[in-house]
Amino acid sequence: MSAGDLAVVIISGALLLLVLMLALPLIKLSRLIDETTRTVQIFNAEFEPMLGEAKTTLSEANKQLKRIDNITADVEQVTENINSLVAVFTSSVGAPITKLVGVLQGFTSILGKRRK
């Protein structure tokens, strides 16, 4: 074996070692990509039902909000009716009572003056 043959054997061995060293990370990268693909497939399979459930939940929440809006509107209307009723009651009963109190104060002032 000559020096040239020995150099070729050493270079080919070094290239083989380099190829093996590069092959291991590539194999690991391939496994990582396969695992990522499986994870994405599982995620997609589970994500679609979750979106359906979220849509149903959101729809039910919107129904409840509409009911609360209706209840709030009804409470507002009842409050307005009560305010109107209080105003009518105050004007119809309050004015005569005020006059009666004024008349009673007049009588008590007259009776107080006569007693002296």
Give a yes or no: residue 34 inside a domain: yes
Confidence of residue 116 (pLDDT cuts 50, 70, 90): low
The whole-angstrom separation of Cα 2 and Cα 102 is 139
31 within a domain of the structure (yes/no): yes
For residue 112, the model assigns a pLDDT of: 73
Domain that holds residue 72: 1-84
Q: Is residue 73 part of a domain?
A: yes
> Taking all residues of the chain, what is their mean pLDDT, rounded to a whole number?
89
Among 95, 76, 98, residue whose Cα is nearest residue 87: 95
Query: Residue 70 is encoded by which pair of tokens?
Result: 């209706």
Task: Please tell me the total count of domains within the chain.
Answer: 1
d(CA 1, CA 110): 149
pLDDT digits (tens, 9 = 90+) for 50-73: 999 999 999 999 999 999 999 999
37-55 mean pLDDT = 92
pLDDT of 4 > 90? The answer is no
Q: What is the 3-state secondary structure (H, E, C) of 49-108?
A: HHHHHHHHHHHHHHHHHHHHHHHHHHHHHHHHHHHHHHHHHHHHHHHHHHHHHHHHHHHH
